[in-house]
Amino acid sequence: MTTSYYAERANLSRLQHLHPQWSHQQLADSLGRSREWVKKWRKRLREEVAADIPLEQVLQGHSRARKHAPGKTPIPVVQAILRIRDAPPEGLRRVPGPQAIAYYLGREAEQEPEPLPVPSCRTIYRILKAHQRIAQRQPRVRQPLERPAPLSSWQLDFKDVSTVPADPFGKQQHVVETLNVLDVGTSILLEAQVREDFTAETALAAVAQTLQTHGMPQQLTLDRDSRWVGSPHGSDFPSALVRFCACLGIQMHVCDPRYPAPPATKRLCREISSDLSARMPRLGSSDQPGAGSAGHRGLCPTLQCRASQPGALLWQSAPTHRLSLPAQLTAAPAGGGS
């Protein structure tokens, strides 16, 4: 870009010597530039060459760097900013930010005979940060997690089947969902039960059926879905799933609020959502907890690919702890209700 600018200015200087009688518009048409550009550079070439400045230096143009140091904020203004920050005026029940501080500084300036300048919000933010009024966020240090043993750690997550349209007279969201159970150690999808009535009761029954089929892991990782952990206000009364896993000796790991979805199941949901969604009309009725799971295993190519991975050999040979549960936990409930 700088080379092309240099060449255009050099062509303008050359055309001035070849055709001194040409007007600004003729030079602009010949160079393909605007008339204002030609007028500015003819004046600059004439003045700076007359001042014995080399032509090569003139053609390079002027630097756009700052010529003078930026003005410093007066000390009284800094003190006023910190005073408003530490003691909010007029009973303000929050910590004022840069915009609020600029507002109060402007009001104070109207009442002073010699008002102080009101800095910009960016300058106020810089002053607050320089005086430790705004804490600097520390960089987060990421630590890799070790891969657990096969079938020792599972992740559970719900996934909406997005291709199923909403019922105009019924559910508008979460019409049909898939409960994905993924083994972290082998990345094998153990279960993917499809239902349209997942509640706390039916989700517990689905987990119980998965434990009967594939054994009992050492740890379950899940998000903060109310069907898993219950109401956030009922921390003193654990949900049915939490108590159920505590009785079986399974360690529960609930994801942090900032990272609500288990990472492995989140990646898996993106892979199989299109396959399961396209084949939903071919699945059987979801009245039985295992109907959707049995139907989708022969239909979804993503699941077949998962089962054919090398880790599937570990799945078949890994030791499992079979679990015998009462029939009440595996039977389909008559009515929903979380």
Using left for φ > 0, alpha for ψ between -120 and 50, and beta otherwise, residue 337 falls in left
Distance CA 257, CA 242 (A): 18
Predicted confidence at residue 330, as pLDDT, reads 46
CB burial class (10 A; 0-12, 13-18, 19+) of residue 14? Answer: exposed
pLDDT at 217 over 90: yes
Going by C-beta distance under 8 Å and a sequence separation of 6 or more, which residues neighbour residue 238? 230, 246
The dihedral sign for the CA sequence 327, 295, 175, 161: positive
Predicted confidence at residue 35, as pLDDT, reads 92
CB burial class (10 A; 0-12, 13-18, 19+) of residue 16? Answer: middle
pLDDT at 318 over 60: no
> Over pLDDT 90: what percentage of the chain?
29
pLDDT at 301 over 50: no
Residue spans per domain, the chain: 2-59, 75-130, 153-330
In the predicted model, what is the mean pLDDT of residues 143-148?
A: 86
In the predicted model, what is the mean pLDDT of residues 91-115?
A: 90
In the predicted model, what is the mean pLDDT of residues 285-303?
A: 42
pLDDT at 194 over 80: yes
Residues β-bridged to residue 179? 158, 193
Predicted confidence at residue 121, as pLDDT, reads 95
What does pTM read for this prediction?
Answer: 0.48
In the predicted model, what is the mean pLDDT of residues 152-164?
A: 86
pLDDT classification of 337: cutoffs 50, 70, 90: very low
| Most confidently predicted of 96-105, 237-246, 290-299 | 96-105
Neighbours of 195 (CB within 10 A): 22
In the predicted model, what is the mean pLDDT of residues 274-287?
A: 49
Predicted confidence at residue 142, as pLDDT, reads 83
pLDDT at 36 over 80: yes
How is residue 306 written in tokens?
A: 């998962």
Instruction: Write out pLDDT tens, residues 42-81.
Output: 999 999 888 888 888 888 888 888 888 878 899 999 999 9
Going by C-beta distance under 8 Å and a sequence separation of 6 or more, which residues neighbour residue 97? none
Q: Which residue has the higher pLDDT, 109 or 301?
A: 109
Distance CA 320, CA 216 (A): 7
Predicted confidence at residue 211, as pLDDT, reads 92
Average pLDDT, the chain: 78
Neighbours of 140 (CB within 10 A): 6
Predicted confidence at residue 259, as pLDDT, reads 66
Whether the CB-CB separation of 327 and 188 falls below 8 Å is answered with no
- Look up the CATH superfamily of 153-330: Ribonuclease H-like superfamily/Ribonuclease H (3.30.420.10)
Edge-first strand order for the sheet with 177-183 is 188-195, 177-183, 153-160, 219-222, 251-254
CB burial class (10 A; 0-12, 13-18, 19+) of residue 106? Answer: exposed
Using left for φ > 0, alpha for ψ between -120 and 50, and beta otherwise, residue 63 falls in beta
Backbone angles phi, psi at 295, to 5 degrees: -75, -40
Distance CA 88, CA 98 (A): 12
pLDDT at 39 over 80: yes
Predicted confidence at residue 204, as pLDDT, reads 93
SS3 46: helix
Distance of CA 144 to the CA centre of its chain: 20
In the predicted model, what is the mean pLDDT of residues 219-247?
A: 81
Whether the CB-CB separation of 152 and 218 falls below 8 Å is answered with yes
